[in-house]
Amino acid sequence: MHIFSLPAGHFRPGRTVLIALVLALFVAGCASVPPPNDSMNMAQTQLQMARDAGAADYAPVDLGFAQDKFQLAQSAMAERKYADAANLAEESRADAELAQAKARLGAARAQIQSKMQENSRLRAQGEAATAAAEAPAPAPSPSAAQPTEDMPAPPSSALSAPAGDGFQTVPDNAQQPAVDPAGGQP
């Protein structure tokens, strides 16, 4: 007989621990992780918000990453790998948020650029109008018509004509009033 042998019917403590550990792992393996429906829905919503914000134009790479990870999450869901699906859905949501933020930034930059171009155009238009207003009037060309001299006033008899006769012309032989050489009237 061996000195270290146990009597029959007695379990070894190491064997009991081993059986308990295997049983615990088996039970843990059978317990399934619930499907990450909320994570999948949030990722899908975030993807749509990124598309609506213009991520396809301003952040196509980040949007592509988000879409690829969402497709992988859907595949993991179909294979009932819920832990992987949850992780991929969260990564997809984060990438979609990044794409949405970059799209908003890109749209704001485009709007700023448009406003700056409009301001430059208006500034140039205002400067042109100011320069045109400050420019001296062009000198008359020699071929322009000569200015006419002041016409003398009609004789007092023509002004005191009766009102009922209408318009009357002054006869050619009427005496013209004298004109002051300084340019004024007598």
pLDDT band, very low/low/confident/very high, at 182 (cuts 50, 70, 90): low
Residues in the chain: 186
Query: Residue 77 in contact with residue 85, Cβ under 8 Å?
Result: yes
Q: What is the pLDDT of residues 46-103, one digit of tens each?
A: 999 999 999 999 999 999 999 999 999 999 999 999 999 999 999 999 999 999 999 9
Pick from 31, 98, 89: nearest CA to 60: 98
Chain centroid offset of residue 164 CA:
75
pLDDT at 170 over 90: no
Taking all residues of the chain, what is their mean pLDDT, rounded to a whole number? 79
CA separation, residue 50 to residues 7, 63, 84 (Å): 72, 7, 23
Please report, rounded to a whole number, the percentage of residues in the chain having pLDDT higher than 90. 49
CA separation, residue 78 to residues 71, 81, 84, 86, 109 (Å): 11, 8, 11, 12, 41
- pTM of the predicted model, to two decimals? 0.53
Sign of the Cα torsion 165, 167, 172, 176 reads positive
